[in-house]
Amino acid sequence: MQAIQVSQVGGPEVLTAVDLPVPSPKSNEAVIQIKAAGVNFIDVYFREGRYPAQLPFVNGQEGAGVVKEIGSDVTTLQPGDRVAYTSALGSYAEYAAVPASRLVKIPDELDFEEAAAAMLQGMTAHYLLYSSYKLQSGETALIHAAAGGVGLLLVQMAKKIGARVIGTAGTHDKAQLARDAGADECIVYTESDFEVETKRLTDGNGVHVVYDGVGKATFDRDLDVLRPRGYLVLFGGSSGAVPPFDLIKLSQKGSLFITRPTLGHYTATREELEWRANDVLQMIVRGDLKLRIHKTYPLAEAAQAHRDLEGRKTTGKLLLIP
């Protein structure tokens, strides 16, 4: 089978198309024929070595496809089932062996591309808004990179909750997309200082919560746009990792809270995974959550997909099609 392997960490060029044997399932696994694989920023971190993995590895954390074979202990699935998953390495491939406990069935109304686009970024938006900081109707949230994959989903879900949403985006076109998704305001933070603008838009009061997946470039000013006892949910670093931080600043800037969550800890049990996945998939079925698929690439063009994602050229979801 064709797969995109990383045998040494580095830039997009280390994503190499190789021919590997089709995997066999362990007793708790199912082998999935991948119909669509999601591209996510976490794949960049793995490729760069920012998140370590044993080399060589097949990249990719998200996929949708058809069950081809099940391990001897698997009772919940059968060959032919349409399934989707996230948080298991190896989806940039024609086949992947995945623990059955990570797989969820795709509703009949959704196709493989929609399911692959929904799992990682959709469940991330869900846990950030419903669990990391439980956003309430009437509160104000600042959402960075609001036209990105996670960003567009965060904006829509935050509006459904009834919050006021201020987004940020790198270009005017992206800002318009964020507004189309429901953002009340969107600051072009490459041109205007988002700290000044956020304070202006909140009459100097600041926001209740910042959802920040940009990291290094935005972190310091996040602390200045929060109201006292506000919450910074730092969930990624697309601009780079945040350097070590002196906790006394949290006191000085208003008894603030910071959390640095990750999806795995918010989908750790089967019950929690099913709750979030079903919530997200049903929101899409009902039309309450719109997916924006930026582009689908042939599997062999994974490196180009990474270049586009890292180059800030994308809005919404990128998919690889084996």
The residue ranges that bind ligand NDP (CB under 6 A) are 40-42, 120-121, 124, 145, 147-151, 169-170, 174, 213-214, 217, 235-239, 261-263, 309-310, 312, 314
Q: Least CB distance from residue 235 to ligand NDP, whole Å?
A: 4
Question: Considering just the CA atoms, what is the radius of gyration of the chain in Å?
Answer: 20
Amino acid present at 79 = P
The DSSP symbol for 93 reads B
Nearer to ligand NDP, 171 or 282 (CB): 171
Nearer to ligand NDP, 41 or 92 (CB): 41
Nearer to ligand NDP, 33 or 238 (CB): 238
The DSSP symbol for 140 reads E
Structure tokens at 43: 């794949």
Give the residue from 44, 43, 49 showing the smallest Cα distance to 89.
43
Q: Least CB distance from residue 179 to ligand NDP, whole Å?
A: 13
Nearer to ligand NDP, 186 or 281 (CB): 186
Nearer to ligand NDP, 41 or 112 (CB): 41
Nearer to ligand NDP, 262 or 282 (CB): 262
Q: Least CB distance from residue 263 to ligand NDP, whole Å?
A: 4
Cα separation of 227 and 205, whole Å? 6
Q: Least CB distance from residue 318 to ligand NDP, whole Å?
A: 8
For 293-300, the CB contacts below 8 A with 24+ separation are 293/113, 293/117, 293/317, 293/319, 294/149, 294/318, 295/319, 296/36, 296/113, 296/320, 296/321, 297/39, 297/321, 299/2, 299/4, 299/17, 299/37, 299/92, 299/93, 299/94, 300/2, 300/4, 300/17
CA 4 to chain centre: 20
Q: Least CB distance from residue 42 to ligand NDP, whole Å?
A: 5
Q: Least CB distance from residue 153 to ligand NDP, whole Å?
A: 8
